[in-house]
């Protein structure tokens, strides 16, 4: 695989994969290749990472399109799960994640849950091979009158061997996520209102990125999602973002290699 990975560990069982061993114990349906190196999101990356949001991939040839984007340098795949309630749109779910894991055993799968009840899907996504389970603060207590308890959900995500991510929408005050900052492997700042790809970047969210960056541990990644292209990504990276999610600007590019190269080189 040509995509950039770091660090080049000599360990035969990277942390993420060894965690999956327990999740997949007894499973014969998924054949993980334990000797390959999985992206280690807990190490600060030497340059911004590119998360290819498969929402803009060609759904008629999804594996080929994902292979193409990874071969051209994308670092991880971002999987947008929408339930038609938390956001009006319906997209993909557990089966897509499982299929991606089967075809890309060594690729980090970043699953972004835009659903009302993320807690109902956490075990399923772990079993399907997700590496990161990111849920919205707007779907949990106390912002929502719901049974979704963020502390319990983070506990469960970690028990299942996944990384925990919390997501904040543009209209939401970023301080809403403060109680959980120490427990997260990733914070995702939405730079569009979630629901579809191809929307315009909202620059006002850059202040939130700076606020988060000042408060997270070096092992916690800061991701931005929505309207990211090689222009808007410059301000995002300057504000502390180290994982850039891109759907339309990446899958729709005439020259995908060049777009990924530009994103990787921001700040250097
Ligand atoms: C929006 C999704 C994004 C979306 C990004 O609800 O969470 O991941 O696919 O699309 P672009 O990069 O086209 O704005
Ligand atoms: Zn997303």
Q: What is the pLDDT of residues 159-188, one digit of tens each?
A: 999 999 999 999 999 999 999 999 999 999
77 Cβ neighbours under 8 A, 6+ residues apart? 51, 52, 54, 66, 69, 70, 100, 104, 107, 108, 109, 110
State in Å: Cα 79 to ligand 2 middle. 7
Tell me the C-alpha distance between 96 and 45, whole Å.
27
- Answer yes or no: pTM beyond 0.85: yes
Burial of 78 (0-12, 13-18, 19+ CB in 10 A): buried
- CB of 194 closer than 6 A to ligand 1? yes
Q: Flag the least confident range among 2-16, 76-90, 177-191, 229-243.
A: 2-16
Catalytic residues: 80, 225
Summarize pLDDT for 34-83 with one digit per residue, the tens. 457 899 999 999 999 999 999 999 999 999 999 999 999 999 999 999 99
50 Cβ neighbours under 8 A, 6+ residues apart? 73, 74, 75, 76, 243, 244, 246, 250, 260, 263, 264
Query: Count of residues for the chain?
Result: 268
Q: How far is CA 237 from CA 44, 94, 196, 210, 232, in A?
A: 13, 31, 23, 10, 9
pLDDT at 6: 42
Name the CA radius of gyration of the chain, rounded.
Answer: 17
Nearest atom, ligand 1, residue 89 CA: 6
- CB of 136 closer than 6 A to ligand 1? no
Q: Which two tokens stand for residue 265?
A: 């080189």
Nearest atom, ligand 1, residue 78 CA: 8
180 Cβ neighbours under 8 A, 6+ residues apart? 150, 151, 154, 166
Which of 66, 113, 197 has the most ligand 1 atoms within 8 A of CB, as the residue to mutate? 197
State in Å: Cα 69 to ligand 1 middle. 16
Residue of minimum CA distance from atom 10 in ligand 1: 197
- CB of 89 closer than 6 A to ligand 1? no
pLDDT at 35: 54
């Amino acid at each position: 695989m040509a995509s950039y990975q770091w660090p080049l560990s000599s360990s035969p069982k990277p942390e993420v994969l060894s965690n999956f061993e327990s999740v997949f114990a007894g499973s014969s349906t998924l054949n993980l290749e334990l000797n390959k190196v999985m992206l280690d999101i807990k190490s600060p990356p030497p340059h911004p990472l590119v998360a290819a949001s498969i929402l803009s991939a060609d759904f008629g040839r999804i594996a080929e399109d994902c292979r193409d984007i990874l071969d051209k340098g994308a670092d991880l795949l971002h999987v947008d799960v929408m339930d038609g309630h938390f956001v009006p749109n319906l997209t993909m779910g557990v089966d897509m994640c499982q299929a991606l894991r089967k075809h890309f055993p060594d690729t980090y799968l970043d699953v972004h849950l835009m659903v009302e009840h993320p807690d109902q899907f956490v075990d399923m996504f772990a079993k399907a091979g997700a590496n990161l389970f990111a849920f919205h603060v707007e779907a949990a207590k106390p912002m929502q009158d719901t049974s979704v308890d963020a502390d319990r959900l983070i506990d469960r995500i970690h028990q299942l061997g996944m990384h925990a991510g919390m997501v904040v929408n543009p209209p939401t005050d970023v301080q809403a996520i403060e109680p959980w900052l120490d427990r997260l492997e990733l914070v995702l700042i939405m730079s569009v209102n979630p629901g579809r790809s191809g929307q315009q970047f909202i620059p006002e969210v850059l202040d939130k990125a700076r606020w988060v960056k000042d408060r997270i541990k070096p092992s916690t990644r800061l991701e931005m999602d929505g309207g990211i292209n090689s222009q808007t990504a410059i301000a995002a990276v300057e504000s502390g973002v180290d994982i850039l999610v891109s759907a339309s600007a990446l899958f729709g590019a005439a020259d995908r290699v060049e777009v990924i190269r530009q994103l990787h080189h921001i700040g250097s």
